[in-house]
Amino acid sequence: QVQLVESGGGLVQAGGSLRLSCAASGRTFGSYAVGWFRQAPGKEREFVAGISRSGGSTGSADSVKGRFTISRDNAKNTVYLQMNSLKPEDTAVYHCAASSYYAGSLAASYPYWGQGTQVTVSS
């Protein structure tokens, strides 16, 4: 079992940056792959980026490629999502999720989820 807590969201102007953190407690965090997902009001949940247990493999959605970077520090039990060049369409609640294997964009494969952090990008 692992518990996840997101932080780092907030209000930022278009073109700005934010760094989200996903802190884990419970079993060794290095045993879990992690994905970031987001959901805007009235829209379906969307995969943003994922990272393998070691951090050696990552993936991201086309909509954020070149702007968002996912990374992890297993010693700190934390996964990060660095978000640069933010756009108003990035506005959403961002959730991190954990799986015992690298599930990529398959949300149903992640059994553990955090409560989310709100990101709002103004134009």
Q: Which residue has the higher pLDDT, 30 or 45?
A: 45
Give yes or no for residue 29 having a pLDDT over 90: no
Provide the pLDDT for residue 51. Answer: 97
Asked if 21 and 8 count as a contact pair (C-beta separation under 8 A), the reply is yes
The model's pLDDT over 40-86, given as tens digits with 9 standing for 90+, comes to 999 999 999 999 999 999 999 999 999 999 999 999 999 999 999 99
Provide the pLDDT for residue 4. Answer: 96
Provide the pLDDT for residue 103. Answer: 86
Give strand ranges (E) for 1-123. 2-7, 10-13, 18-26, 33-39, 46-51, 58-60, 68-73, 78-83, 92-99, 112-113, 117-122
Give yes or no for residue 26 having a pLDDT over 80: no
Share above pLDDT 90 across residues of the chain, in percent, rounded to a whole number: 89
